[in-house]
Amino acid sequence: MATISAEDWGRIYAFIWKDARIGTGDYMRKFDKNPASAVKEIVEVLRSEYNHPIEYDRLFDVSTGPTDLSTAQLEEIIKGEIDNTPFQFFLRISC
């Protein structure tokens, strides 16, 4: 087994949004509170009601960091800054 694929994450998110729009919205609340537990429930529903089995042993995989950024730049991004400028500034410019 492996991590959940991007395609299956799309199915999981679609299920959450469908439930939020035309269902009870319970799965979105559960996912916000405890993603691992909610995904386990959602995967079971997708398997039983939609006949789509998702096999996984972890939710995501940690890969190596980007090679085009230095360690200092990555630390700034984690703090919410790029070159001592708040990260929100760049989001407003690009959006």
Question: pLDDT tens-digit profile of 39-93?
Answer: 999 999 999 999 989 988 887 776 666 677 777 877 777 777 667 666 665 545 5
pLDDT of 24 = 86
**Domain assignments of the chain as residue spans, ordered by start:** 6-50, 64-95
Inform me whether the pLDDT recorded for 37 exceeds 80.
Answer: yes
Alpha-carbon gap, residue 15 to 45, rounded angstroms: 9
Inform me whether the pLDDT recorded for 95 exceeds 50.
Answer: no
Its pTM stands at: 0.62
Q: Do 36 and 28 meet the contact criterion of CB atoms below 8 Å apart?
A: no
Higher confidence at residue 27 or residue 68?
Answer: 27
